[in-house]
Structure 1
Amino acid sequence: MDFLKVTPSSSGVKSNLGPWTLFLFAATCGASVANVYYAQPLLGSMAADFGLDTADIGIVVTLTQIGYAAGLLLIVPLADIANRRRLVITQTMLLSAAAAAVGLAPSTFMLLVAMIALGLLSVVVQVVVALTASLTGPEERGRAVGLVTSGVVIGILAARLWAGLLADLGGWRTVYLASGMLMLIMSMLLAKTLPREKPSGSKEGYVAILRSVPLLFLRYPLLRARAVLAFLIFASFSTLWTAMVLPLSASPYLMSHTAIGLFGLAGVAGALAASGAGRLADRGLAQPVTGASLALLAISWAAILCLPASLPVFLLGVVALDFAVQAVHVTNQTLILAARPEARSRLVGGYMVFYSAGSALGAITSTMIYAYAGWPGVCALGCSFSVMALVFWWITRPMPRA
């Protein structure tokens, strides 16, 4: 079976990805990014296994996120000068080893070291997204990036459910051992699928490309604007998905982690529905798509506020929120990846730093607000992030495309 479909393009780009390759890329992204989120429902079991206090085990999540942020800044830009085929395969194989190391960790120290490595190597996701953009012509780029990015969102949302199910069957270590095996399989499939690359021809050194990342964002207003939107929409996204476990695990629902993880399926539905936003961006409709999606994001919080009075209405709000966030995220990446083709990995890495910062802000503030103002306070916080994003987009909308 041919995994890489080669077709002529009006833009002169000869290589367009076939559906099986896009599916493999999306699956790789989903499986990779899930490693960053597996620990969230497993912290209690991990604390008991290592004899740690529940408050102390939270360092596991923090170190994983620190490793991920470091990877965005130190590894992803490397793809602009390195052989991306070799980089993707190597990262995926090392990620397999890191996941296995977490599952086999004999001590707290080894666990924490392995979690840092796990976060560091999970940024293979961003290299795959940039590679997808490079292997597709301009008329197909938004659609392809949208499909692959859907795998990222699905991986984030499904990680909690998958981790809960496997942990119920074989303990928390089973989750990471299974992930290690899955990433090993992915690396072998990618080795057979990824096309051979010619040298990039870039004369830039590693230090030079690291220095160029902030300069690119200072030079191009579009990059700054879309990075700010990413910060705000993922702050809203994280506000919901971090805090929702608190009311759902309390009376009257008293749901388990596995049951709460099922809500991720509603988010997956929204994310999949929004994958077509890239096609609209390809047609020059990025600004209308962004505005409409941000408006929907703000409105979705009215439905989310109905928890615990009406669970069905709450679910509609969850679907709407994930649809809106994914639509803006895909549109952002489509525009950013078109700005500087020779610097796509740097642009994606820099952009995702804002994504990580927004996610961290939403996670920290949502739990604090819930302690003082309950679920209505959380909804007010999430809606505030959404409205700020909508207002910011309205102010900056006359900005040129590139």
Structure 2
Amino acid sequence: MSKVEVSPSIANDTRGEAVTFDRRLVWLMAVACALAVANLYYIQPMLASMARDFSVSVGQVGVVATMGQVGYACGLLLIIPLGDNYNQRKLIVGMLVAVIIALVAMALAPSILLVTVASFLVGLATVVPQLIIPYAASLAPEKARGQVVGTVMSGLLIGILLARTLSGFIAAQWGWREMYWIAAVMMIVLAVVVRFFLPNDLSAKGSMSYPQLLHSLWDLLREESILREVIIFGSMAFGAFSAFWVTLSFYLETPPYHFGSEVAGLFGLVGVVGALAASLVGKIADRRDPRFANGVSLVITLISFVLMWLAGQWLVGLIIGTILLDLGTQANQVTSQARIYSIRPEARNRMNTVYMFCYFVGGSLGSMLGTFGWGVAKWNGVSLVACAFLVVALVAYAWRTLKLRQYMHA
């Protein structure tokens, strides 16, 4: 069994001695992230089915997905900072119980209004991965932190993508409500596994009050230029990513495709190719300039949308574009999180809170503008919205690069 030693300053047992970090624990965390984050993404291939079920428009059902991401952003802001003050395993188990209740509410909701409320609650409670990732980073030695984060992120990203495949199939065979019943059962099993197999959090905790924790988020944003930069990169990339996935099922129902929700879900399998690169990207970030990796990933993501805009009417163009989209988005995410986990070790959960809150605000905006773009100009509108997000990110990257060069030559 391969293990990585963790220094006493990073993780200690009750006797103050160095402990070892089991690689199997990394994979447990990766699987937990995959199963937990999937709850937020089951809905995307099922939107067309839900719209028919409730007899509502594309714009109305798009709000359901958007509110899920808004709920997730609120959970990041209000819950994740507690990880710097309280036992993380207890927080994780508690949030799993909360998401079980929300999933059951989603499955039982009799109207589009109550589905929207339940979607918000599912998002609010689905913050388990953002408790696990900084916990994994705190256990990992500095020289392997990017690789560990990348491995755990691979699980999270594969969970995002395969959630669409699973929910598309379940919705086509039995209906969208059944997907949420299955998800609730999976979360019950996961809660039991986490309770008994995830190690107890023995790290030193802060003593700030809850209002102080929340107030410190603004201080981190104001003081850390790296954090501000990766927020722009992450939120814009995820906005473009969300605009694509929230409208894909509608695009695949139109000519020349005429596909159902199960095919929209299968595109998640295509994206796994990109997700599998997350661990490799983390390893590269440990050894080379992670900021440069941010820039390359943003360019790849923009190329993916240009390709799908010009060649999306052909299946091969859509498939290649999807692979590039997931590769670019996920490479950017892994690199960004590796960068912020390298600063302020005592505030990793709060750093993650600020970053991921803005990240999902960007995703919510992308979902909203993506459905708006679809309503106005179909696929052309979606592509234009996504490209605009990425141009903003690349302009910010170029401007910051210029400033850094001026500083170095001053």
TM-score by length of 2: 0.88
Partner of 2:394: 390
Q: Deviations over 1:82-106 (max 9, x none)?
A: 0111111221233223323332446
Q: Deviations over 1:183-207 (max 9, x none)?
A: 1111121122222233634221111
8 Å contact from structure 1 (residues 294, 324) kept in 2:
yes
Change (3 A) 1:379 1:106: closer
Q: Using the TM superposition, give the Cα deviation of residue 389 of structure 1 relative to its aligned residue in structure 2, in angstroms.
A: 1.7
Q: Using the TM superposition, give the Cα deviation of residue 325 of structure 1 relative to its aligned residue in structure 2, in angstroms.
A: 1.1
8 Å contact from structure 1 (residues 83, 200) kept in 2:
no
Q: Deviations over 1:38-94 (max 9, x none)?
A: 233334555666x56446555533442332122111100011100111111221233
Which moved further from structure 2: 183-192 or 283-292?
Answer: 283-292
SS of residue paired to 2:318: helix
Change (3 A) 1:235 1:20: same
User: One-letter code of the match for 2:245?
Assistant: W
8 Å contact from structure 1 (residues 72, 353) kept in 2:
yes
8 Å contact from structure 1 (residues 42, 164) kept in 2:
yes
How do residues 230-309 of structure 1 correspond to structure 2 at under 5 angstroms?
230-309=234-313
Partner of 1:132: 136
Distance 1:89 1:326 in 2: 27
Change (3 A) 1:383 1:115: closer
1:171 aligns with 2:169: no
Partner of 2:99: 95
Q: Deviations over 1:109-154 (max 9, x none)?
A: 7655543332111011111111111111111111111111122222
Q: Deviations over 1:155-185 (max 9, x none)?
A: 2222222112122333322211111111111
Change (3 A) 1:368 1:43: closer
SS of residue paired to 2:5: coil
1:189 aligns with 2:193: yes
8 Å contact from structure 2 (residues 8, 19) kept in 1:
no
SS of residue paired to 2:277: helix
Distance 1:330 1:167 in 2: 31
Q: Using the TM superposition, give the Cα deviation of residue 16 of structure 1 relative to its aligned residue in structure 2, in angstroms.
A: 5.3
> Kindly, what percent of the aligned residue pairs are identical?
36
Q: Using the TM superposition, give the Cα deviation of residue 300 of structure 1 relative to its aligned residue in structure 2, in angstroms.
A: 2.2
Distance 2:378 2:55 in 1: 28
1:347 aligns with 2:351: yes
Distance 1:61 1:245 in 2: 13
Q: Deviations over 1:262-283 (max 9, x none)?
A: 1111112112123311112212
User: One-letter code of the match for 1:36?
Assistant: L
Which moved further from structure 2: 265-274 or 381-390?
Answer: 381-390
1:322 aligns with 2:326: yes
8 Å contact from structure 1 (residues 11, 137) kept in 2:
no
8 Å contact from structure 1 (residues 145, 330) kept in 2:
yes
Select which of 136, 154, 164 maps to 1:160.
164
Partner of 1:337: 341
Change (3 A) 1:82 1:290: same
SS of residue paired to 1:82: coil
Which moved further from structure 2: 147-156 or 36-45?
Answer: 36-45
8 Å contact from structure 1 (residues 15, 135) kept in 2:
no
8 Å contact from structure 1 (residues 16, 137) kept in 2:
no
Partner of 1:362: 366
Partner of 1:119: 123
Change (3 A) 1:170 1:386: same
Partner of 2:85: 81
1:141 aligns with 2:141: no
Which moved further from structure 2: 102-111 or 158-167?
Answer: 102-111
SS of residue paired to 1:254: coil
SS of residue paired to 1:7: strand
Which moved further from structure 2: 198-207 or 212-221?
Answer: 198-207
8 Å contact from structure 1 (residues 26, 151) kept in 2:
yes
Distance 1:238 1:168 in 2: 22
SS of residue paired to 2:140: coil
Which moved further from structure 2: 193-202 or 145-154?
Answer: 193-202
8 Å contact from structure 1 (residues 6, 15) kept in 2:
no
Computed over aligned residues only, the root mean square deviation of the Cα atoms, in angstroms, reads: 2.7
Which ranges of structure 2 fall in alignment gaps of 5 or more residues? Answer: 12-17
Change (3 A) 1:203 1:96: same
Select which of 14, 24, 29 maps to 1:25.
29
Equivalences, count:
397
Which ranges of structure 1 fall in alignment gaps of 5 or more residues? Answer: none
